[in-house]
Structure 1
Amino acid sequence: MEFGEPMEENQSQSAHLLIIDDDLDQLRLLVAALRGTSHRVSVATQGDQGYVRAMVLQPNLILLDVCMPGRNGISVARLLKINPSTQHIPIIFLSALVGAQERLAGLKAGAVDYITKPFLIEEVLERIRIHLELARKNLHPNTHDFTTKGSNQDPAVFNRQPVTLIFRKLAIEYIMAHINESSLKVSDVAAHVEISVSKLNAIFEAIDGSSVFEFIRKERMQRSALMLGQSTLTIADIALEVGYSNPANFTTEFRKFWGRTPMQLRNESKINPDAWQQRIESR
């Protein structure tokens, strides 16, 4: 949904704004206020819809509600900030959540500002003006200079990253941050990315040729092999570093993966480092 043409003549200050909010009354209020400016306004009423519209429309600024059914605003912001084609777009959160932790969560997700509801329209308009001005002074390489008429840049040529790759990247970041925790489960990763386990597995199988569980296992085995050859840590300590609280279980999994015990691979790294390196790289 898009709303009208700019209503003022000062085109040098016009910008394209995207509002993502499921509250229709709130949307009408914001759109009515913004139609009195030179800005063009687009809207989305769901998180996933808003994310897609941000990629397609390449707005100059996004007003984003936090509490929405389905994908919430925090999750949408994380996706926008990890996508190269949208990470430069300033995000202002609009939320009825007024606690310090909620505001901090919004800023950590990549927002430049956080406005609590109910708000004064004049305050929203002023903050939009401030952040558009800041964006003009520090343009991202993929950003249109919206103060210039007749720009020959086309949003369609931007390097947009498929949504599946973004989900995978978020999942891998979470895995790497928790790889040393024996309690790490695929369901934890899926919950962090906010998609089902089956969908996350389908993404990994399509891109990596393996399930999320196998990806975690391979990462742990490769890390442990490198530590065996490049450190003096004991096998028990290495097991803990890669998420195995029981050294015996670690040794069993290691032998299944590498075809030899941790001690055998450590000895190989000392006797024939070239063969050890080739073995690591082959997996």
Structure 2
Amino acid sequence: MNNSQLHKGDILIVDDTLDNLRLLSNILTEQGYEVRGVTNGSMALMGATAQPPDLILLDINMPGLNGYEVCQQLKANAQTSEIPVIFLSALTEAFDKVKAFSVGGVDYITKPFQLEEVFARVETQLTSRRLREQLQLQNSRLQLAEKELLKALEQERELNQRIQEMTAVEERNRIARDIHDSLGHSLVALNIQIEAALALWHEDLDKAHAFVLEAKQLGSETLKAVRESVTLIRSEPLQGHSLERAIASLTDEFHRLTGVKPECHIDVTPNLPDSINTAIYRILQEGLTNICKYAQASAVQIQLQSTASGVFLMLQDNGKGFQVERNTKGFGLRGMQERVTALNGQLEIVSEPNTGCLIAAKFPTIAD
């Protein structure tokens, strides 16, 4: 007997005939099984409960508790209910196969024993038990993995929620800062117009009146800009829509206001992070607003594309253009730069007077 044959399974044999008990014990022990033997049903129940075996060979006809009754009690006990039971019965004895299987037996062996049959039936049931135990273990691991996955998904959902909340706060702070900058500039210009009107009030009423009209126009434009900015703060950028649909709404509004229909080329994956979607939308929103207000463009092109290295955005017009180095704080350029920088992206703005403007932004596919 070699080491590979050792400890192949723990078998409990229950038979009131000592010759049968010794015979089975000897042949199974020689095959590497650990074998215990008892001569009655009561001892079988106690032994199986104290140290549950991997398999029970159970004689049918015994004094006291017979094999059927012992099997019923084994199956009624949660501690022993999973142990497979093979019934032992002589060819000359009455053996009710239907009853044997109905009380929980899985197989039967007839006496006198045929060694090959005994080994085959025993190993079949032990292999089946090992497979069930492995399956139960795998199921337990899968259930544990599922719980861990659900926990990780919940943590990811909470993290994404916090990131979205932080992104929203940063967006509101950025817009509020833009309001402060633009409002301060407008109020300074408004104050200059009013001071000029007061200075000329008694000397040149017509000029004073013209300054007042300019001040009124500045006030109206400032109020409109503040209202638009406050609306931006209050609203969600995409309002639950896809990025492509949100961009379509922007271009439709731009077309309605200017009569110019932007040419769009959009090819992006649908699962971009919300932070990138928001940044792209805001950059296009600010860029189209600037074109509408200042550029006097007759053609506008938008290109948005996912690549292996990230997401590329381009907004280009053929309008008046401007000196970029002289307008680092105007036209929402600082807000664009902050949005791109926050996502570890790159922003390039190319413009000269009378040559239009090109805004190009690149974002990594996964924002850090």
Q: TM class, shorter-chain normalised? A: 0.3 to 0.5
Comparing both chains, which one has the higher relative contact order based on Cα–Cα distances under 8 Å and sequence gaps of 6 or more?
A: 1
TM-score (norm 1): 0.45
Greater strand content: 2
Radius of gyration: which is bigger? 2
